[in-house]
């Protein structure tokens, strides 16, 4: 039978009771973490979001009625206890903030009973993800998940305060908006009033925030929920949160400056970590050349070395052929790994095949000076020596090479570098390496669509000095776009926007948009720009990923209260679900099953 809390008022959260309270009476409320009946004494660990407090029931202190009630307590019962704070009679628990004290109970109320939960509520529970997510409300009781959620809340407050102090206004933009097929797939919402018409849920507030600049709001931010209907590879969620911002009358350096100060403040206040400013910057080209990635993890070396010129005329056809076909040959030096068994090297070869590489060539340098290599027999002694010295190979090193188009070589060696670092334990979660990657290419060739697409989005400003190539060599044009990278993860990105209509027109032309199509999709923005648009720029962070890195967890699901799984469903609510025919009728929609359609 559940009792009421009438007449009781909580005086402390569990872990807020301290040694200073010894001798005073407290009223605490929370969940039973565990209870142990040791004959004459019942020990109960009381848990709430602050932590755990030990409660002691002894018949001599609380009377037989309370003692009998305490004997009924089970895990996850919700209780209220009134008692006196004492020094621990038994062993001090140094793992607990409240490990030196205990509360000797006088009163007990059972505010709610609990069935036996499907899993024990504990830190780092080994329970299967499916079970955790089905009972997410229980999973969210776990102290580690609660810590993540508390950190997330605090981080949002720090961000809000910093941006407000720096002249930003928090403004909400619509959730029901217009579909713009450029970009990822939209989530659509049918309109009842306009049968056959649909809203889209926003992929980002991009166009609205630019309109707010046209409207003179000068600096905007929003913690914005965004939606993208993509096949969920890796660690993605169909809805996620951006810290979104836009600023007027600024250029790249201004956006970078305010965001560096924001990150420094955030890491100082939440983690007590100093972020040295300025954060290093690297152009996209340099990032690709040195790390094979536009989001380099700079916590460790093993940089790529371009050996194209060294091997272009060598006897090994895989190398010279790739160069002749316009590609490159690059390598990485896994220092001290010359003893790696053949089996492991084969596994690395299989690994890079996922990134398009046809194989991985290697040279293993023995401690005794012996050279083992997959391709030595095709090379002269001098060619081998030239290659090893270009790689700064020393006794005991393992040199790994890929030869292909630049794109494939970068992708495979970039991924291999991270893979090796994981294997060799080179990644320290307590080290935070920030990096700006700048001067991204404006455009990216899409084989699928047989046209250029915008690497960032169609409103991104080309670098002035590259505008001259926009007709003759569009792939060469760099953009005023930047990403902020933390430990090899892109945590945010943005750009300076185009605010001159001739450049915007040109951009649409290069992207293969007719005037009509551009107008159909973005007409309201283009119209707005005719009425005085200030130069503007912005950036958006992926908040979930940022908090994930700050909490040192491996998945964004651990920092989102109610996440979805890979197929975009919610295991707790069962969403998405079939709806009533009546609801569909009202919307003028008929759902056709695959069978019927066939
Ligand atoms: N809207 C962009 C994005 O979602 C960010 C920006 O350009 O500000 O990536």
**Band of pLDDT at residue 576, cut at 50, 70 and 90:** very high
User: What mean pLDDT do residues 160-168 have?
Assistant: 98
Q: Is the pLDDT of residue 51 over 80?
A: yes
User: What domains appear along the chain, each with residue ranges and CATH number?
Assistant: 14-112 (2.40.50.140), 300-427 (3.30.1360.30)
User: 442 C-alpha vs ligand 1 centroid, how far in Å?
Assistant: 14
Q: What is the mean pLDDT of residues 268-282?
A: 98
For the beta carbon of residue 593, count every other beta carbon within 10 angstroms: 7
Winning range, highest mean pLDDT, from 134-138, 379-383, 587-591: 134-138
pLDDT at 39 over 90: no
Residue 519 has pLDDT above 80, yes or no: yes
The pLDDT score that the predictor gives to residue 132 is 96
β pairing state of 51-58 and 41-48: antiparallel
This prediction has a pTM of 0.94
- Strands, E, within 314-462: which ranges? 328-334, 361-365, 371-373, 398-404, 434-438, 443-446, 451-454
Q: Which atom of ligand 1 lies nearest, measured to the CA of 209? A: 8
- Ligand 1 near 203 CB (within 6 A): no
Residue located nearest, by CA, to atom 4 of ligand 1: 204
Average pLDDT score over residue span 541-553: 97
Place of tokens 């040279």: 363
**Residue from 201, 226, 457 whose mutation best tests the ligand 1 pocket (most atoms within 8 A of CB):** 457
pLDDT category, 267, cuts 50, 70, 90?
Answer: very high
539 CA closest ligand 1 atom index: 8
> Does the pLDDT at position 182 exceed 70?
no
The predicted-structure confidence for 377-434, as pLDDT tens digits, reads as follows: 999 999 999 999 999 999 999 999 999 999 999 999 999 999 999 999 999 989 999 9
Assess whether the C-beta atom of 539 lies below 6 angstroms from ligand 1: yes
Q: Is the pLDDT of residue 133 over 90?
A: yes
Give residue 590's pLDDT.
86
Residue nearest to atom 8 of ligand 1 (CA): 539
Closest approach atom of ligand 1 to CA 205: 1
Mean pLDDT of the chain, nearest integer: 95
Burial 275-308 (b: 16+ CB within 10 A, else e): beeebeebebeebbbbbbbbbbbbebebbbbebb
As a whole number of angstroms, the distance between CA 202 and CA 174 comes to 8
| Span 178-192, average pLDDT | 88
Distance 67 CA to ligand 1 centre (A): 60
Q: For residue 492, what are the contacts with CB-CB under 8 A and spacing of at least 6? A: 243, 259, 483, 484, 539, 540, 541, 542, 546
pLDDT over 70, % of the chain: 99
State the pLDDT confidence band at 105, using cuts at 50, 70 and 90.
very high
In short, whether 337's Cβ falls inside 6 Å of ligand 1 is no
User: What gap in Å lies between CA 598 and CA 596, rounded to an integer?
Assistant: 5
Confidence tier at 1 by pLDDT (50, 70, 90): confident
Q: Is 493 touching ligand 1 by the criterion CB < 6 Å? A: yes
For the CA of 481, the closest atom of ligand 1 is 7
Q: What is the 3-state secondary structure (H, E, C) of 248-265?
A: ECCCHHHHHHHHHHHHHH
From the CB of residue 185, how many other CB atoms can be counted at a distance below 10 Å? 14
Nearest to 451 by CA among 522, 518, 525, 507: 507
Confidence (pLDDT) at 512 = 92
- Contact (CB, 8 A) for 326 and 356: no
The pLDDT confidence band at residue 62, using thresholds 50, 70 and 90, is very high
Ligand 1 centre to CA of 298 (Å) is: 24
């Amino acid at each position: 039978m559940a009792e009421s809390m009438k007449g009781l008022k909580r005086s402390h959260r569990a872990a807020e009771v301290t040694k200073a309270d010894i001798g005073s009476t407290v009223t605490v409320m929370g969940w039973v973490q565990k209870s142990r009946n040791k004959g004459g004494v019942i020990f109960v660990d009381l848990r709430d979001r602050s932590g755990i407090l030990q409660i002691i029931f002894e018949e001599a202190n609380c009377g037989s009625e309370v003692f009998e009630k305490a004997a009924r307590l089970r895990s996850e019962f919700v209780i209220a206890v009134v008692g006196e704070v004492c020094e621990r009679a038994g062993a001090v628990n140094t793992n607990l903030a409240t490990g030196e004290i205990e509360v000797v109970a006088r009163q007990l109320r059972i505010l709610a009973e609990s069935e036996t939960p499907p899993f024990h509520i504990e830190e780092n529970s080994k329970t299967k993800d499916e079970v955790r997510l089905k009972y997410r409300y229980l999973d969210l009781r776990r102290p580690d998940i609660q810590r993540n959620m508390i950190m997330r809340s605090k981080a949002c407050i720090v961000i809000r305060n910093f941006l407000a102090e720096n002249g930003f206004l928090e403004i909400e933009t619509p959730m029901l908006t217009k579909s713009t097929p450029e970009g990822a797939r939209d989530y659509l919402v049918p309109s009842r009033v306009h049968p056959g018409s649909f809203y889209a849920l926003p992929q980002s507030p991009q166009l609205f925030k630019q309109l707010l600049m046209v409207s003179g709001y000068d600096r905007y931010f929003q913690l914005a929920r965004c939606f993208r209907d993509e096949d969920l590879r890796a660690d993605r969620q169909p809805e996620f949160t951006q810290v979104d911002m836009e600023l007027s009358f600024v250029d790249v350096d201004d956006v970078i400056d305010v965001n560096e100060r924001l990150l420094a403040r955030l890491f100082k206040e939440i983690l007590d970590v100093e972020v040295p400013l300025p954060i290093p910057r690297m152009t996209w080209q340099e990032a690709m050349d040195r790390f094979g990635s536009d989001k380099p993890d700079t916590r460790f070396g093993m940089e790529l070395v371009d050996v194209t010129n060294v091997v272009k005329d060598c006897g090994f056809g895989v190398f010279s052929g790739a160069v002749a076909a316009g590609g490159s040959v690059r390598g990485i030096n896994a220092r001290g790994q010359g003893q790696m068994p053949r089996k492991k090297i084969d596994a690395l070869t299989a690994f890079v095949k996922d990134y398009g590489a046809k194989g991985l060539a290697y040279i293993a340098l023995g401690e005794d000076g012996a050279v083992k290599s997959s391709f030595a027999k095709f090379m002269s002694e001098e060619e081998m020596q030239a290659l090893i010295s270009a790689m700064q190979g020393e006794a005991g090193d393992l040199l790994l090479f890929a030869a292909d188009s630049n794109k494939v070589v970068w992708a495979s060696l970039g991924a291999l570098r991270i893979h090796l670092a994981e294997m060799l334990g080179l990644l320290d979660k307590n080290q935070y390496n920030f990096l700006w990657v700048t001067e991204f290419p404006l455009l990216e060739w899409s084989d699928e669509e047989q046209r250029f697409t915008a690497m960032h989005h169609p409103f991104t400003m080309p670098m002035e000095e590259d505008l001259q190539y926009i007709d003759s060599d569009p792939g060469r044009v760099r953009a005023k776009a930047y990403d902020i990278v933390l430990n090899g993860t892109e945590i945010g990105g943005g750009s300076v926007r185009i605010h001159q209509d001739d450049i915007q027109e040109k951009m649409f032309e290069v992207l293969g948009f007719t005037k009509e199509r551009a107008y159909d999709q973005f007409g309201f923005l283009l119209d707005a720009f005719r009425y005085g648009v200030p130069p503007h720029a912005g950036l958006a962070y992926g908040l979930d990923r940022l908090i994930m890195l700050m909490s040192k967890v491996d998945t964004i699901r651990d920092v989102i209260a109610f996440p979805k799984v890979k197929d975009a469903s919610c295991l707790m609510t069962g969403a998405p679900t079939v709806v009533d025919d009546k609801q569909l009728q009202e919307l003028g929609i008929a759902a056709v099953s695959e069978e019927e359609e066939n």
